[in-house]
Structure 1
Amino acid sequence: MGRGSVVRRRVARGSAAVVAVSVVVGATAAMPHAIAQPTADVALEWYDVSAATVNAADIPASAQITKNRAWAISWLAAARAIRPELATGQPHEYEQAAIASAVHTALSDLVPSRQAELNAALARTLGRIPDGPAEKRGVRIGREQARFVLADRENDGLDPESVNGEYPPGEPAPGVWQPTPPTYGAAIQAGSRYAKPFLLDDPAQFRLGPPPELGSERYRSDLAEVRALGVAGSAARTDEQTRTAEFWEQSTQEAYAWVLRSALEQSRQPLFQRVGMVAIFNVALVDTQIATSDSKYTYARWRPVTAIRAADDGDGDPGTTPDADWTPEATTPLHPDYPSGHNTYAGAAEAVLTALTGAGPDEAVTIGSSTAPGEYRTYAEWSQLTDEVLDARVWSGLHTRTADEAGVVLGRDVAEHDLRMAFRLLR
């Protein structure tokens, strides 16, 4: 899809999406009561507070999962605070106070450096709510649920230090991951596979099968594609492909935070369902990244840059020659090729958004990119993002197509499981 293009969505929301919403966020929730004074969208308000807080946190890029964890904890607390058995029969003021207090309490614990900003945001929300029993109860329940979720997730192995735990690479050999240029730094995200999932029974529950054998037809075609289209300055790559590659060098957590915000803003569902959407999205993305680390470090498959530079180094592929100067269009992240983390993220995000909103938004979503300033892309269906991410990581020279396709499958599998099991978190 080209820059700025819009494809109008003609796919109606199906019965499967309705069932998924009922399972995940309780379709029995009552519609909010109208209140007399001018109102703000408390979900969108605290979504923006959450984004500002998490983005300002001292969390390295190598621990993206820690950011999703902060979102998951705070919004799961909010969803629990306004679940039907607590909110039914309560005025709208209760829900507003409960959401604000739950997210405020959780983020105050997780990002204490933003305490002043969080306190100011809470004061703004509570200042709109008339003093009374509903407000007091909302504040109390919101805080209680935040403390409950925080306690449950204590020492879950998703702090940056644990996520990036030490990983000694195997002895150099064909197919075995080794630190990649230009820094040849230590592996990152290897510790995520030991973390406590939210809903997976085990990090290995959806472990992928092995990547193609060295020298196989698929292996050879994968490398041939990335060698030609993923090399820096490739003459075979079109300008559009280059722009797509640059656009999706950005963090998937940052990109999809904007996508999810658009879905939240457009949603006309009851407040509980909207808050639940943010919660289960981030829960599923935490579990997906844990599962990604499990598969990555189980197989520890070398990156294209390593494979291409050592093409005849006993890898069973005598039909190619090494290219010691081959350099990918983008800098290779310091973790194995299989599966692609960008694509596990995209696959999981697509699965959650499709289950909860249908095949795409009511109005096409436009997002930008920190790695392609001034570039904006518009999407009318969630699958369009996945398709672009899949191609982009090949055109960047970072992954084989097999690693990208397997990543999408893994992400979808984890997300679909978490959607089915989400009721466990909201009891």
Structure 2
Amino acid sequence: MSSTRTHSTLVVLGAAALLTASAAVPQASAAGRTSTTLTWYDATAENIATAGASAQVTNSRTWAISWLAAARATRSVPAGVDRGTYQDAALAAAVHRALVTLVPSRTEQLDATFEQTLDAIPDGTAEESGVTAGERQADLVLASREGDGLDPTSVNAPYPVRPAAPGVWQPTPPAYAPAAQYGNRLAKPFLLKSPSQFRLGPPPALNSGRYAADLAEVRAYGAADSTARTAHQTETATFWLGSSLTLYTEPLRVALTRTNQGTAGQARLVALFHVALVDTQIATSDSKYAYERWRPVTAIRTGSIDPDPDWTPLHATPAHPDYPSGHNTYSGAAETVLSALSGPRTAPFRLTSPTAPGVTRTYTTWKQLSDENVDARVYSGIHTRSADEAGITLGTDTARYVLRNEKNLFAPR
């Protein structure tokens, strides 16, 4: 496949360049050569950021399908062909085939990147058989996930709000928008036996000391006009305000550049990360809508503990129940997968956030990201600490289950 092809400026120009091209993808400084794996990691990130779905879990599904296909395609190599050539071709073909199916508006850019990848791979049987394997695995995974309920319309299925009562979720100011993500709990997981498999126990009772302490903390530190919250705490809230999928794209890339597991191991890391995160988001909505716990703004304005009808959180409250925090279920799952597959510590890496322009933070463990997420949602005034800590637990439990049962993902097909 050595014919001359038209060069496109939108083709991947290097691992860092593609991420820089999209303001929606946070940046970190991490060393690493531009490999086929990184080229297609960056292509996945850039194309989803540019033309992805409106629902985060739908985009997580795109990642999971694409990289699960790549992991399966690179898992074994036929006898008599060059291993590296076969795996590079298989990974590129798998991710390309899945992405052009799931993000069709980016077909031209994806085709150009695919052609450039193949131009860099030696022609021959290894390349041809790798492409065939990658496309076959992508088709199989796509077929297995058809109708899984993770399209944006299904994700945001209508939710009948219960009458107002102490503790019961109600639409929140300023938009008073309808409930979002209710349909996640009706979707088909990748590995969980059911969305409710790791359903959390109930949140603290409204007459408990823990509930009173939670509410007092978010009232003091999460108010828009808080005098208790420090400038650094405000920065933390703003830094972690955006989409978890966006915020964790670069930490996963850092882990990817620092692994010595080879192409198949890299594909496995990305696949397991996103499979775990899809299942975590499904489990999150199950617990949220099982308990329907009101948000702090509703509790503080209308509850029985020193009601303040004018209290306003630092950041607008998302349109779904408090318990558990979705940002923290995501963090707990991400930390678990990254720690298991790349170790709990890493050399320092720098991270920026699209919601905090000009701010750069440095990390050496994945747990630091989780710890900041727990605090951030309190400082934003949109979650109680109980909801945040429960989120870490649910994400951790779900990810551990995925890791224990990964053989069911990678069985021969």
Distance 1:353 1:386 in 2: 12
Aligned to 2:41: 47
Aligned residue for 2:143, secondary structure, equals helix
Aligned to 1:316: none
Aligned to 1:4: none
**Could you tell me whether the CA contact under 8 Å between 1:87 and 1:95 is conserved in 2?**
no
Paired residue type of 1:382: W
**Could you tell me whether the CA contact under 8 Å between 2:77 and 2:87 is conserved in 1?**
no
The one-character-per-residue Cα deviations of 1:308-343 (angstroms, maximum 9, x if unpaired) are 00122xxxxxxx321000000011000000000000
Q: Structure 1 pair 58/280, CA: closer, same or farther in 2 (3 Å)?
A: closer
Aligned to 1:380: 364
Q: Does 1:196 align with 2:188?
A: yes
Q: How does 1:23-102 map to 2 (within 5 A)?
A: 40-60=34-54, 63-84=55-76, 86=78, 90-102=82-94
Distance 2:108 2:161 in 1: 43
Residue from 300, 309, 313 that aligns with 1:308: 300
Shift of 1:273: 0.8
The one-character-per-residue Cα deviations of 1:118-151 (angstroms, maximum 9, x if unpaired) are 0000000000112111111011110000000000
The one-character-per-residue Cα deviations of 1:132-186 (angstroms, maximum 9, x if unpaired) are 1111101111000000000000000000110011001111000000000000010
Distance 2:61 2:193 in 1: 18
Distance 1:85 1:117 in 2: 29
Structure 2's unaligned 5+ residue stretches are 1-32
Shift of 1:86: 4.9
Aligned residue for 1:373, secondary structure, equals coil
Aligned residue for 1:377, secondary structure, equals strand
**Could you tell me whether the CA contact under 8 Å between 1:59 and 1:160 is conserved in 2?**
yes
Paired residue type of 1:308: I
**Could you tell me whether the CA contact under 8 Å between 2:88 and 2:263 is conserved in 1?**
no
Paired residue type of 2:67: W
Aligned to 2:250: 258
Paired residue type of 1:416: R
**Could you tell me whether the CA contact under 8 Å between 2:295 and 2:383 is conserved in 1?**
yes
Aligned residue for 2:362, secondary structure, equals strand
Aligned length: 379
Paired residue type of 2:143: A
Aligned residue for 2:405, secondary structure, equals helix
Residue from 164, 169, 172 that aligns with 2:164: 172
Aligned to 2:5: none
Residue from 207, 219, 224 that aligns with 2:199: 207
Q: Does 1:351 align with 2:343?
A: no
Aligned residue for 1:267, secondary structure, equals coil
Q: Does 1:298 align with 2:290?
A: yes
Distance 1:358 1:133 in 2: 37
Q: Structure 1 pair 267/227, CA: closer, same or farther in 2 (3 Å)?
A: same
Larger RCO, structures 1/2 (Cα 8 Å, 6+ apart): 1
**Could you tell me whether the CA contact under 8 Å between 2:221 and 2:228 is conserved in 1?**
yes
Q: Does 1:402 align with 2:394?
A: no
Aligned to 2:15: none
Aligned residue for 1:330, secondary structure, equals coil
Paired residue type of 2:338: L
Residue from 86, 111, 124 that aligns with 2:116: 124
Aligned residue for 1:380, secondary structure, equals strand
Q: Does 1:288 align with 2:280?
A: yes
Q: Structure 1 pair 276/209, CA: closer, same or farther in 2 (3 Å)?
A: same
Shift of 1:88: 8.9
Moved more, 139-148 or 88-97: 88-97
TM-score for the superposition, normalised by structure 1: 0.87
Distance 1:108 1:89 in 2: 28
Aligned residue for 2:275, secondary structure, equals helix
Q: Structure 1 pair 323/115, CA: closer, same or farther in 2 (3 Å)?
A: same
The one-character-per-residue Cα deviations of 1:375-416 (angstroms, maximum 9, x if unpaired) are 111110010000000001001101000000000000000000
Q: Structure 1 pair 238/87, CA: closer, same or farther in 2 (3 Å)?
A: farther
Residue from 213, 219, 231 that aligns with 1:239: 231
